[in-house]
Structure 1
Amino acid sequence: LDFNDKKERISLGMKQLKPHPWKDIAERYPEGAIVKGKVVSITDYGAFVELDSGVEGLIHVSEMSWTQHVKHPSKILTVGQEVEAVVLKVEEDAERISLGMKQLESDPWDSIETELPPGARVVGEIRNIASFGAFVEIKEGVDGLIHVSDMSWTKKITHPNEMVKKGDKVECVVLAVDKEKRRISLSMKHLTEDPWDSIETTYPVDSEVKGKIVRMLDRGVVVELADGIEGFIPVSKLTTEYIKVPADAFKVGDEVPAVVTEIDQNNRKIFLSVVDYFKNRESAELAAWMDSHKPGENGTTIGDAVAPKKKATKKKAAEKPAEEAAEKPAEEA
């Protein structure tokens, strides 16, 4: 191949006895062709497959499966394994061949819009939970997301694990399908009608209800009614006695009778009052209720504690000189 007369050397080559392995590679391995080869090495991003002597192709990790989320090629392939693949792209000058395994099977997302139109009911398994929602495997390789806001019409859910856990089988309604981004929006709450649509009929103003305290706030309590609707009772409407905060006389789990005082359908709020519930009832019934919800300790109510102060204030005012009262405007007197 080369003669150097000054150093009297001759360079020889063996590979030149055979044609270059990448010559006419596109004709021998056209795109779309199904080929067989042996896995010769595995990296983090894919597996190299020997197709012929001196010719290797790469199966990228993203081209290994439609259905599995392959984190590393070694989870699917091993060195020395015989595999079948589809030629995706050939770059003769760069001596690169891109291969795919998943193309040997049909893509489950190709017919997803026909199989799962909006409104369809599906059953799946909770595969993963995030702070914003739960991922449901509807069929092999196809996951949908139930956003936390689509889990209940009535409950204010802060985390999906309040409603579901990993491994649960759940029924959902398909809200939307984005084939290009491979996303499916699901809903649990759309399995039933929104109870707030008929709230004014179900709970008209002045109607009597019973519920259970589910959350305590400084300004009142949140009560869950029979159908999951949550109502709010201000602290001033919990008892005729004076209490600073609901925890002075109530606790989570207490059952309370109340009257509907106001409905704000747009903001999905319903206001209740225990005080108004006892307005037209026998005094003995009110007394029994008050006795079971006494604020303070040792049976002494906060109302009793502040009462003497009010009396003393009145007495002190009565003892003021008459001329001081006379100086006030007539309307104040």
Structure 2
Amino acid sequence: MTRLFTGEVCSGRAAGAFLLKHKNNKRPGSVCSRFNRMELTTNTNVGVDNAAMEAMYDETLKNFTEGSIVPGKILSVIDGDVLIDIGYKSEGIISAQEFKDLEEDPIGQEVEVFLEQLEDKEGMIVISKRRAEQQRAWDYVVNECEEGSVVEGTIKNIVKGGFIVDVGVDAFLPGSQLDVTPVRNPEEHMGKTYQFRILKINLERKNIVVSRRELIEESRREGRRKILAEIQTGELRKGQVKNITDFGAFVDLNGIDGLLHVTDMTWGRINHPSEILKVGDELEVMILEIDLEKERISLGLKQTMDNPWQEIEARYPIGARVHGKVVNLAPYGAFVELEEGVEGLVHVSEMSWTKRIQRAADVLNVGDEVDAVVLNVSTDDKKISLGMRQTEDNPWEVVAGKYPIGSLVQGQVRNFTSYGAFVELEEGVDGMIHVSDMSWTRKVNHPSEVLKKGEEVETVVLEIDSNSQRISLGLKQAQDDPWAGIVDRYPIGAKVSGIVTKISSFGAFVEIEEGIDGLVHISQISDDHVERVKDVMNVGDTIEARVVKVDPVEHRIGLSVKAASVEDADFEVREEMLEGLQPGAELVNLAGAFDSAFGDKLEEWHPGDATKSGDKEEGEDKEEGEDKEEDKKAE
């Protein structure tokens, strides 16, 4: 029996109940936990002397050390508090919340508690069941676990930089070590139990750092090795979309990632993988290629579907009329979807018979529905060429009948190029006037020297090529040729008067009538030797000369100043008058005569040097070259 300071004697259970009842209103000397060795007495009926009792008391106190774990027994539970007897001079109190496995009738249940303090300011012991469990867990970690070992734990809290994990003791899990992918929603992991690898143990700070990611990566490495050992090209595998990029999607094949490239997702056209896939999608894909050394797998999704290009020629024969929707535009043409996974290209050159279309976007928009005709099919290249203009009548098929060669036609100047002008004869039908066909008497360097945009002109049809959709027109041919009858107006030996218009190293050009120039060769300027033409002649001088040669075809007239002083009766064409000219030619070609002597100066021979067929062909070749270059760029 224990004697209270007031002289009241109570049993241990009664003292515990009294302590719980008055734990918040303790007074020194009023509870049975405040013992004093001098006041211990023994009931004479028990038969134990004071000396023996005092010895037992001293021995009991020696067995308790603060900071140690001691066994205890539950005496009672009152108002959420548990009274624990550890065999010390007083009992301790622990909140019931520290008990995870408290029985319905816990009286007498044995528990381990952590002795925090033998005696607080109230004279009571301070104990904790939770700290005992933590100490046991810490001791287990220190004694049984090493850095690198695996433990099980529950994520209990989110802190800055990571999580707190209960592995028996609190451990820190960095945010980057929770999973192999960034954690987008940390809250979804709260309360979940996982396996963790111990990365670091700090005994001094009682700090443990763990990782779940390392276990996942280790498992995945093992899984990759296993999958690579058994996987075969061409087989089908199920997987989950793990990540999406601009060029494709990574699919998790239960331990190893494979790349599903955007070109292998569908037989049709897509601009970005996200148009048909999203993270988390379950897919069945085909193994296309395996790189064991780099542990890379290429996957295909469209290969698990029927190929729409099989027997494509039977479904879309050449000449067939089709209907489709414009799904993409490029500068060189429009892509038209004929069915899912099958597209055809309408090149800009196949969009109109009459209009020169520079860009497909000028006439079409994405989403437009169009009719077209199949022009060509390539199964190997998976290409179909389409034509929109073939759905309409070709106006060029009747052009030859409407505009016969040699007929006079009128039109409006629509556009210029460096080599000619385009004249619109009717809507969609243009003819081209080459610069060489613009004037009889002058060399035209650019059509703007003669014509203006929007001007109405009368021309002559020179040539028609319906296949190439070209009409050649002549402006000068619709006018009188001043060189017609030139032989009658300027016979050999006739005296003429004219003005010097141009001086060259080999002679002087003299205008004898508007648009008609003749050449006085340097040898025919004076009886005296002339070193330089400009020493004896100047532009604007009026001179008199005789005609010594006439070429109405090449528009050339040869003049001699020296012969002008000869009497008419005495005049005759002598060989020296033709010096520098092509000998033996019936019609003098002065440009050819001076070719070897004066090289590029021959371009100065005559300002009307624009009617040569060679110049015209060069211009036409230039036009064709530009068209071909344009088509090449488009392709």
What is the TM-score with the length of structure 2 in the denominator? Answer: 0.36
Equivalent position of 2:328 in the other structure: 41
Q: Which amino acid aligns with 2:334?
A: A
Q: Which amino acid aligns with 1:217?
A: S
List runs of 5+ in structure 2 lacking aligned partners: 1-234, 238-282, 286-301, 568-635
Alpha-carbon distance between aligned partners in 2 of 1:246 and 1:3, rounded to the nearest angstrom: 92
Counterpart of 1:123 (choices 378, 391, 410) is 410
Equivalent position of 2:486 in the other structure: 199
Query: How many residues are aligned here?
Result: 272
Q: What pairs up with 1:1-333 in 2 under 5 angstroms?
A: 34-89=321-376, 96-124=383-411, 125=413, 127-130=415-418, 133-139=419-425, 140-155=427-442, 157=443, 159-161=445-447, 163-164=449-450, 167=453, 169-235=456-522, 244-252=531-539, 254=540, 256-265=542-551, 268-274=555-561
Say if 1:258 and 1:276, in contact at 8 Å, map to a contact too.
no
- How far off its partner does 1:206 sit? 4.2
Alpha-carbon distance between aligned partners in 2 of 1:146 and 1:227, rounded to the nearest angstrom: 23
SS of 2:361's equivalent in the other structure is helix
Mark the structure with the bigger radius of gyration: 2
Equivalent position of 2:620 in the other structure: none
Question: 1 or 2 for the larger relative contact order (CA 8 Å, sep ≥6)?
Answer: 1
- How far off its partner does 1:203 sit? 1.3
* TM-aligned CA distance change 1:236 to 1:55, over 3 Å: closer
Q: Which amino acid aligns with 2:417?
A: I
After superposition, give the CA deviation of every residue in 1:253-306 in whole Å (9 maximum; x if it has no partner).
x152424331233654323345665778xxxxxxxxxxxxxxxxxxxxxxxxxx
Bigger mean CA offset, 26-35 vs 219-228: 26-35
Q: Which amino acid aligns with 2:550?
A: D
- How far off its partner does 1:201 sit? 0.9
After superposition, give the CA deviation of every residue in 1:58-77 in whole Å (9 maximum; x if it has no partner).
22232112223333322322
* TM-aligned CA distance change 1:234 to 1:126, over 3 Å: farther
Bigger mean CA offset, 49-58 vs 63-72: 49-58
List runs of 5+ in structure 1 lacking aligned partners: 5-10, 281-333
- How far off its partner does 1:47 sit? 1.5
* TM-aligned CA distance change 1:212 to 1:166, over 3 Å: same
After superposition, give the CA deviation of every residue in 1:208-233 in whole Å (9 maximum; x if it has no partner).
43433222112321122324221112
- How far off its partner does 1:249 sit? 4.9
Alpha-carbon distance between aligned partners in 2 of 1:24 and 1:235, rounded to the nearest angstrom: 79
After superposition, give the CA deviation of every residue in 1:17-68 in whole Å (9 maximum; x if it has no partner).
x998678877876665554432111234422223444443322232112223
Say if 1:32 and 1:86, in contact at 8 Å, map to a contact too.
yes
Equivalent position of 1:7 in the other structure: none
Alpha-carbon distance between aligned partners in 1 of 2:549 and 2:236, rounded to the nearest angstrom: 101
Percent identity over paired residues: 40
* TM-aligned CA distance change 1:38 to 1:220, over 3 Å: same
Q: Which amino acid aligns with 2:395?
A: P
- How far off its partner does 1:197 sit? 4.5
Say if 1:258 and 1:275, in contact at 8 Å, map to a contact too.
no
- How far off its partner does 1:237 sit? 5.3
Q: Which amino acid aligns with 2:416?
A: N
* TM-aligned CA distance change 1:59 to 1:123, over 3 Å: same
Say if 2:549 and 2:557, in contact at 8 Å, map to a contact too.
yes
Equivalent position of 2:222 in the other structure: none
Say if 1:38 and 1:82, in contact at 8 Å, map to a contact too.
yes
Q: Which amino acid aligns with 1:263?
A: K
After superposition, give the CA deviation of every residue in 1:103-126 in whole Å (9 maximum; x if it has no partner).
233222211221222102233426
SS of 1:109's equivalent in the other structure is helix
After superposition, give the CA deviation of every residue in 1:57-105 in whole Å (9 maximum; x if it has no partner).
3222321122233333223222223333334456678765432221233
Alpha-carbon distance between aligned partners in 2 of 1:44 and 1:126, rounded to the nearest angstrom: 24
* TM-aligned CA distance change 1:148 to 1:260, over 3 Å: farther
Say if 1:214 and 1:223, in contact at 8 Å, map to a contact too.
yes
SS of 1:185's equivalent in the other structure is strand
After superposition, give the CA deviation of every residue in 1:137-189 in whole Å (9 maximum; x if it has no partner).
3434444444444344444x273458535736543322222333334333333
Alpha-carbon distance between aligned partners in 2 of 1:219 and 1:27, rounded to the nearest angstrom: 72
Equivalent position of 2:191 in the other structure: none
Alpha-carbon distance between aligned partners in 1 of 2:448 and 2:364, rounded to the nearest angstrom: 39
Alpha-carbon distance between aligned partners in 1 of 2:376 and 2:492, rounded to the nearest angstrom: 70
Alpha-carbon distance between aligned partners in 2 of 1:12 and 1:232, rounded to the nearest angstrom: 88
